[in-house]
Amino acid sequence: MLEKEPIPRCHARTRDGDQCKHYPMLGQRVCHMHGGKTPAALAKAEERLRQLVHPAIARLAKLIESADQDSVSLNAARYVLELNGFKATVEVKGEHEVVIRVIDEPQPIVIEQHGLSNGRAHS
């Protein structure tokens, strides 16, 4: 079984020299208190996250096509369908038969960036 990696903390140090206990902002190594809200830091974080889009899509496609377990392929397919506005329901019949019904209910794709408004950081 895979062990979960601990969630990283902000890489900045406090005045006492201890590591900051806050979590870093999305796509960053530092929290909002240590420069994560600056325009340059937000732009760099967005760039890093965008660079992960194509590898993530490729990995999902590979899992759908050739995962070692059917449940992994099924979960990857469900994730892709749900991200694209389809609600997938699954029925399992017998030992090896899997039926996927796709209900077309278009949903808007929303990318959330907490603490932002019109591309500017809240103070």
Q: Break the chain into its structural domains and give their ranges.
A: 39-111
Question: In which band, very low, low, confident or very high, does the pLDDT at 70 lie, cut at 50, 70 and 90?
Answer: confident
DSSP 21: -
Question: In which band, very low, low, confident or very high, does the pLDDT at 33 lie, cut at 50, 70 and 90?
Answer: very high
User: For residues 65 and 98, what is the distance between their CA atoms, to the nearest angstrom?
Assistant: 15
The pTM for the full model equals 0.48
Helix/strand/coil for 115: coil
Beta bridge partner(s), residue 87:
103
Statement: residue 22 has pLDDT above 90: yes
At how many degrees (to 10) do helices 53-66 and 70-83 cross?
Answer: 140
Statement: residue 3 has pLDDT above 80: no
